[in-house]
Amino acid sequence: MSKQGGKTPGKTGEPNEPKIPAGGWGSLKEVGTILLKERVPFEGAQLLTHQNKPDGYMCVSCAWAKPAHPHPAEFCESGAKATAWEVTSKHIGADFFQRHTLRELETWHDHELEAAGRLTVPMRYDGALDRYVEITWERAFAEIGAELRKMDPKNVVFYSSGRASLETSYMYQLLARMYGNNNLPDSSNMCHESTSVALPKTIGVPIGTVVLDDFDHTDCIFFFGQNVGVNSPRMLHQLQDARKRGVPIVTFNPLRERGLVSFVNPQSPTEMLTGHETVISTQYHQVKAGGDTAALMGMCKAVLEADARAVAEGGPRAVDADFIAEHCHGFDGFAAAVGARGWDEIEREAGLTQAQMEQAAGTYIRARSVIGVYGMGLTQHRNGVQNVQMLVNLLLLRGNIGKPGAGICPVRGHSNVQGQRTVGITEKPELAPLDKLKELYGFEPPRDKGMNTVEACEAIRAGKVQALISLGGNLVRAVPEHGLMDAAWRALPLTVQISTKLNRSHLVHGRTAYVLPCLGRIEIDRQAGGEQAVSVEDSTGCMHGSRGRAEPAADTLLSEPAIVAGIAKAALDPNPKVDWDAWVADYAKVRDAIAATYPEIFHEFNDRMWTPGGFRKPVAAAKREWKTPTGKANFTVPDTLSADPDMPVPADALRLFTVRSDGQFNTTIYSLEDRFRGVQDRKVLLMAGADMARLGLADGDIVTASTAVDDGVTRTVEGLRVVEYGVPAGCVAGYYPECNPLIPLWHYAKESKVPAAKSIAVRVERTGGPDRPLH
Ligand SMILES: Nc1nc2c(c(=O)[nH]1)N[C@H]1C(S)=C(S)[C@@H](COP(=O)(O)OP(=O)(O)OC[C@H]3O[C@@H](n4cnc5c(=O)[nH]c(N)nc54)[C@H](O)[C@@H]3O)O[C@H]1N2
Ligand SMILES: Nc1nc2c(c(=O)[nH]1)N[C@H]1C(S)=C(S)[C@@H](COP(=O)(O)OP(=O)(O)OC[C@H]3O[C@@H](n4cnc5c(=O)[nH]c(N)nc54)[C@H](O)[C@@H]3O)O[C@H]1N2
Ligand SMILES: [Mo]
């Protein structure tokens, strides 16, 4: 047993796991600790009262919905950490780089890089000195513009991480298109792109159908591969309320995640004082990583078998036959495909028993209105699109789309990642309003397909990319295949990072490299036209205004719209129809432009942006209008139940899935500890006792993991500590991004190209351990 703090001994099958609830005093203490560490105790605590409020700023952590009637404190532990991290009083200027060369900084941990503080001045890399050196904004823009003008627009990539506002994102996509390409990869390409591909084909909209109100009317909630306690904790309020009404919650997840087990509401004095925990999941099925298509198939099979019995016996139907007849296409083919699959195969691929799947199906059948919630556990697989489609199949069987209390609920990641897509950040020209842009701005938008994230990586490796502009993010660490990608990155002629904090992508840079520091969303944004506000879209398709409240980290920072405009003016010939300066002076004018481009969604944008709870974009499927090629909601037959057809796991290997901890926001590592999983450091592999015995490993052993594929590339991560943990046999969990070197670039979801970060065949080799000699 390893010596992990804060744990009670685990019972069989779940060793080493702490038994703390999500929320509670632990959560409050965490908030206090990070505010102190970032030296913002007073301002930070005050600021937090404005978080996710109709007149305040929208949290920079997750994209979960913001209620019209917020709690007095409408923030969570994760959101408070993200706020403290952004408004930290630690700042770094050019003098920091006089003290540290990039070579030295490369030895720093990712946590230390970001913890150094906010970037404050624009800089260019000086190769002779191996340092970033301060330059003026004017020079930075002029030089970047001059470089871009020399390049073939098709070889330039405009990446964005899903945090930038609707206003910035709209300007950014216009910049890329006026420059001459649709190369607009987004963090969404590594995230919910499987959703954006699966849902239009099946229900005719690219986003979820539920709103907050549905949680008040639901009879049952299913959770697939989403870690609510860490990644969208404010949603625990809706789950707790539902549980108090007796609503069952059925979870499918290889790990018993604390937030899905129990919760103490930090905003309830009674609960805090009595320690009363709400049980969140009423059933917990530890599906094998990649086993969801099979598990969902098992549930559909159980529903259809129950329905056949009902028909034979004349009882109430288990499927909603009227809904299927009126609204669906492909039911017969789907039912036949389900019938053709045997329980043996389903059990083997899901790692669950027939009885477990029948139990879940029984709960499903008894509920009138069901919500299906999911996250990266479904999307980041070779079959990521198919996984989502299987969840749609299950919901369609009982008409659980487009009625109150029911629907599909993808939980998006970054706080405006969904909104970026809504305003044109996409590499797919058919999804962008190109004719409208042409009409409004009098230029010929490029019509050819642009690069998504994986394609941009492939092109970078092939030496075909001349410049990479990044609007936020830390692409060098977020992508797979660090071994090959880092080297390719350094050969890029030009990289431009628009960032708030120092990260690996500033160190693994192009031959010419710029760092452009920007204001964060929480900061007051003063422009010629006065203090500006921005807007974002949440996971449920609701748009919210957001007004910064904190003093900027430095007066040398520019806002994201100002930086995008600065690059645009330098790289593009003047266009009388696009007045970048006027847009920067008054973001309301950008919103007018957004409204003119997308009148159906954004009409009277400026008037509606402060609507409490947000204003929602039209979601046809929520009204049972199906904008699909068949005009109906489509059942789809899965190609395979196999978790991972392109990367089978050899007998001596394990299936690795990468996860986040409560001490991180993506590649931003706030702290090394994972409070909920009881792990003190991040270089670990969480492994089942049975696998450890099979592989001759003991808790605390140090191992090297290597990818178990034979494609001529060696991929390893050294120095991982084995932690015995309650994961299904054959599966092993590790942290993102530490394990990203193990993911081959070619290993992605078939139709969406989302890297398959939740299923990687790995071998482990023992290299050391605390008290056992090597062999
Ligand atoms: N505090 C915090 N909040 C965040 C983030 C963060 O890093 N920190 N990141 C943001 C972003 S960009 C995103 S996309 C979201 C991500 O939020 P989530 O969608 O929750 O993503 P992950 O943490 O990667 O993993 C999700 C869960 O899937 C489970 N899982 C893994 N493989 C499988 C599988 O094959 N099947 C099933 N059923 N489950 C599986 C894991 O055990 C884990 O509990 O969170 C957002 N919010
Ligand atoms: N193995 C594995 N890999 C994964 C995942 C996984 O689950 N497993 N998840 C994938 C997912 S879902 C995602 S979304 C990606 C995330 O990929 P990215 O979005 O590229 O990465 P982040 O870590 O969110 O980016 C953090 C950086 O953003 C910058 N930043 C923060 N706030 C702002 C701001 O307001 N403005 C600007 N301009 N910059 C800002 C800071 O400099 C910070 O260092 O990673 C993907 N990679
Ligand atoms: Mo994400």
Q: Is the CB of 668 under 6 A from ligand 2?
A: yes
Q: Is the CB of 497 under 6 A from ligand 1?
A: no
Which ligand has its closest atom nearest to the C-alpha of 57?
2
Residue 227 Cα to ligand 1 midpoint, Å, equals 5
Residue 413 Cα to ligand 2 midpoint, Å, equals 10
What's the token pair of residue 316? 């109430």
Model pLDDT for residues 341-382, shown as the tens digit of each residue:
999 999 999 999 999 999 999 999 999 999 999 999 999 999
Longest dimension (CA), the chain: 83
Residue 586 Cα to ligand 1 midpoint, Å, equals 37
Which ligand has its closest atom nearest to the C-alpha of 548?
2
Give the SS3 label for residue 367.
Answer: coil
Q: Report how far residue 378's alpha carbon sits from residue 390's, in angstroms, rounded to the nearest whole number.
A: 10
Which ligand has its closest atom nearest to the C-alpha of 539?
1
Is the model's pTM score more than 0.75?
A: yes
Residue 221 Cα to ligand 1 midpoint, Å, equals 18
Q: Report how far residue 550's alpha carbon sits from residue 459's, in angstroms, rounded to the nearest whole number.
A: 40
Describe the crossing of helices 41-48 and 24-37 by its angle, rounded to 10 degrees. Answer: 130
Eight-state DSSP code of residue 741: G
pLDDT at 17: 72
Residue 469 Cα to ligand 1 midpoint, Å, equals 27
Q: Is the CB of 414 under 6 A from ligand 2?
A: yes
Q: Is the CB of 665 under 6 A from ligand 1?
A: yes
Average confidence score pLDDT of the chain: 94
pLDDT band at 772 (very low <50, low <70, confident <90, very high): low
Ligand 2, atom 10, lies closest to the CA of: 190
What's the token pair of residue 318? 């288990």
Residue 102 Cα to ligand 2 midpoint, Å, equals 21
Contact 417, 191 (CB under 8 A): yes
Res 291 pLDDT > 70: yes
Residue 496's Cβ-side half-sphere holds a number of Cα atoms within 13 Å equal to: 27
Q: Is the CB of 190 under 6 A from ligand 2?
A: yes
Ligand 2, atom 46, lies closest to the CA of: 478
Domains of the chain: 22-86 (no CATH), 91-190+416-621 (3.40.50.740), 193-411 (3.40.228.10), 654-768 (2.40.40.20)
User: C-alpha distances in angstroms, 52 versus 137, 333, 753?
Assistant: 32, 45, 32
Residue 113 Cα to ligand 2 midpoint, Å, equals 14
Task: State which ligand 1 atom lies nearest to the alpha carbon of 231.
Answer: 3
Which ligand has its closest atom nearest to the C-alpha of 665?
1
Q: What is the mean pLDDT of residues 530-558?
A: 97
Q: Name every residue whose Cβ is closer than 8 Å to that of residue 167 and which is 6 or more positions away in sequence.
A: 534, 535, 561, 587, 590, 591, 594
pLDDT at 24: 74
Model pLDDT for residues 720-752, shown as the tens digit of each residue:
999 999 999 999 999 999 999 999 999 999 999
Task: State which ligand 1 atom lies nearest to the alpha carbon of 660.
Answer: 23
Residue 187 Cα to ligand 2 midpoint, Å, equals 7
**Amino acid identity, residue 601?**
I
Residue 375 Cα to ligand 3 midpoint, Å, equals 9
Q: Name every residue whose Cβ is closer than 8 Å to that of residue 149 and which is 6 or more positions away in sequence.
A: 571
The residue among 394, 612, 501, 473 whose CA lies nearest residue 164 is 473
Ligand 2, atom 34, lies closest to the CA of: 520
Describe the crossing of helices 343-350 and 292-313 by its angle, rounded to 10 degrees. Answer: 150
pLDDT at 275: 75
Q: Report how far residue 557's alpha carbon sits from residue 55's, in angstroms, rounded to the nearest whole number.
A: 24
The residue among 182, 188, 196 whose CA lies nearest residue 163 is 188
Q: Is the CB of 659 under 6 A from ligand 1?
A: yes
Q: What is the mean pLDDT of residues 640-654?
A: 93
Pocket test of ligand 2: the residue of 111, 171, 474 to mutate, having most ligand atoms within 8 Å of its CB, is 474
518 bridge partner residues = 558
Task: State which ligand 2 atom lies nearest to the alpha carbon of 560.
Answer: 38
Which ligand has its closest atom nearest to the C-alpha of 453?
2
Model pLDDT for residues 358-368, shown as the tens digit of each residue:
999 999 999 99
- The stretches of 343-443 forming alpha helices (DSSP H) are 343-350, 354-366, 376-379, 384-397, 417-422, 434-441
Q: What is the mean pLDDT of residues 92-96?
A: 94
Ligand 1, atom 19, lies closest to the CA of: 375
Q: Is the CB of 178 under 6 A from ligand 2?
A: no
Q: Is the CB of 391 under 6 A from ligand 1?
A: no
Contact 695, 731 (CB under 8 A): no
Residue 740 Cα to ligand 2 midpoint, Å, equals 13
pLDDT at 41: 62
Contact 513, 490 (CB under 8 A): no
Res 7 pLDDT > 80: no
User: C-alpha distances in angstroms, 736 versus 18, 276, 450, 480, 740?
Assistant: 21, 33, 27, 10, 6
pLDDT at 12: 36
Q: Is the CB of 413 under 6 A from ligand 1?
A: yes
Res 490 pLDDT > 90: yes
Res 95 pLDDT > 50: yes
Q: Is the CB of 501 under 6 A from ligand 2?
A: yes
Res 331 pLDDT > 90: yes
Task: State which ligand 2 atom lies nearest to the alpha carbon of 739.
Answer: 1
Residue 757 Cα to ligand 3 midpoint, Å, equals 12
Residue 764 Cα to ligand 3 midpoint, Å, equals 28
Residues with CB under 5 A from ligand 3 (ion): 191, 413
> Torsion angle of alpha carbons 11, 15, 21, 24, nearest 10°?
120
Q: What is the mean pLDDT of residues 205-231?
A: 97
Res 552 pLDDT > 60: yes
pLDDT at 263: 81
Distance of CA 3 to the CA centre of its chain: 32
Which ligand has its closest atom nearest to the C-alpha of 391?
1
Res 8 pLDDT > 60: no
Res 541 pLDDT > 80: yes
Residue 187 Cα to ligand 1 midpoint, Å, equals 14
Residue 162 Cα to ligand 3 midpoint, Å, equals 8
Which ligand has its closest atom nearest to the C-alpha of 373?
1
pLDDT at 16: 60
pLDDT at 52: 87
Eight-state DSSP code of residue 618: P
The residue among 96, 104, 111 whose CA lies nearest residue 37 is 111
Burial of 729 (0-12, 13-18, 19+ CB in 10 A): middle
Please report, rounded to a whole number, the percentage of residues in the chain having pLDDT higher than 70. Answer: 97
Ligand 1, atom 30, lies closest to the CA of: 377
Residue 113 Cα to ligand 1 midpoint, Å, equals 24
Q: Is the CB of 188 under 6 A from ligand 2?
A: no
Angle at Cα 181 formed by Cα 180 and Cα 183, nearest 5°?
A: 155
Pocket test of ligand 1: the residue of 382, 659, 679, 760 to mutate, having most ligand atoms within 8 Å of its CB, is 659
Task: State which ligand 1 atom lies nearest to the alpha carbon of 191.
Answer: 14
